[in-house]
Structures are given as C-alpha cells and as structure tokens.
C-alpha cells in the first residue's frame, strides 16, 4: 500500500524517490507557476549533465514513450494504481529495452537527461511533472500537480 504525501488541501501524491541519484535541495526550484513558452510551466526542471540516468520515481507501468516537438523524447509512467502519471521530458534517450507496457520499480533507470524537443541544447535537464489522471486514464489529459513538494520530501528521505 503506497504512502501518500499531502500536496495542498485537495491533492496528495504517493511518496516518491528522487528521479536523479544524489539530487540535493539546491538542485530544485519550484517553477510550476512560471510562464515558459507562453504557458504555465507546471513542472520542475532539474539541470544535470547530458546522459545522467533518470530514475522511475515510483513503481508502475510505462504507459507511453513519445517524441513531441516541445518535450522531445518523453516518458509517461503510471503509478501502480493508475491514479497518477509521471512525465519525464527532454530525454537524450530511453533505457535499453524500455517499452510501452514495461513494469518498472521505483529507482529503476528509465532514461537519460538530455535537451531534446524545445529545450536549449546548451542546458540539458530533466523536465519532470505529475498529473492526476481522470477516470478515463488519458495520459495527455491529467490535472497538473506541483511536483516540487514531493521532490523536496523525496530528497530529504534519501539523505
């Protein structure tokens, strides 16, 4: 049974592990409300060297591997209960053998930091977001949840 972490008055997200090994609080900044490319960012950008392994933050299923103009190489991962979708974007690539439908455990390497899509090629980073899924479980239509508090808690637990 997952442990839940309170995020605001109406939402909670399962306890996560950091998406990058050795992540520190100094590496995190809450950019959820910032405007990027004319839209609310609704994510946390974690600057790391190109090729740094990206880890699954919870156990679950890879729902979609996708290449888009804004996100570049992306991963949509559902938690085990199919309530939340974790979005990893601007990846240099995916872990060898990763496929849609793959089961992953928290801490498994799923991809690598990059600067694909509309990311500045000089600033490789992981664009990380969380979406609360509706009853239809549509990975592209979830309600954005601020990932920053969950990432802060994950980093503190990992110490």
Q: Which residues are catalytic?
A: 125
CA–CA distances in Å: residue 8 to residues 11, 12, 41, 58, 146: 6, 7, 18, 20, 9
**Measured between alpha carbons, how far is 28 from 139 in angstroms, rounded to an integer?**
25
- Quick check: 127 and 89 in contact, CB under 8 A? yes
Buried b (16+ CB within 10 A) or exposed e, 58-67: bbbebbebbe
């Amino acid at each position: 049974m997952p442990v839940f972490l309170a995020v605001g008055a109406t939402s909670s997200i399962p306890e996560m592990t950091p998406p990058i090994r050795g992540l520190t609080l100094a590496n995190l900044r809450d950019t959820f409300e910032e405007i990027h490319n004319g839209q609310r960012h609704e994510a946390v950008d974690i600057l790391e060297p190109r090729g740094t392994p990206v880890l699954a933050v919870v156990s679950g299923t890879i729902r979609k591997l996708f290449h888009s103009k804004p996100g570049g190489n992306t991963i949509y991962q559902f938690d085990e209960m199919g309530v939340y979708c974790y979005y990893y974007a601007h990846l240099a690539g995916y872990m060898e053998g990763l496929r849609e439908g793959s089961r992953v455990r928290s801490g498994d390497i799923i991809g690598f930091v990059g600067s694909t899509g509309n990311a500045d090629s000089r600033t490789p980073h992981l664009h990380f977001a969380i979406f609360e899924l509706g009853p239809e479980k549509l990975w592209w239509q979830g309600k954005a949840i601020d990932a920053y508090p969950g990432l802060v808690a994950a980093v503190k637990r990992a110490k």
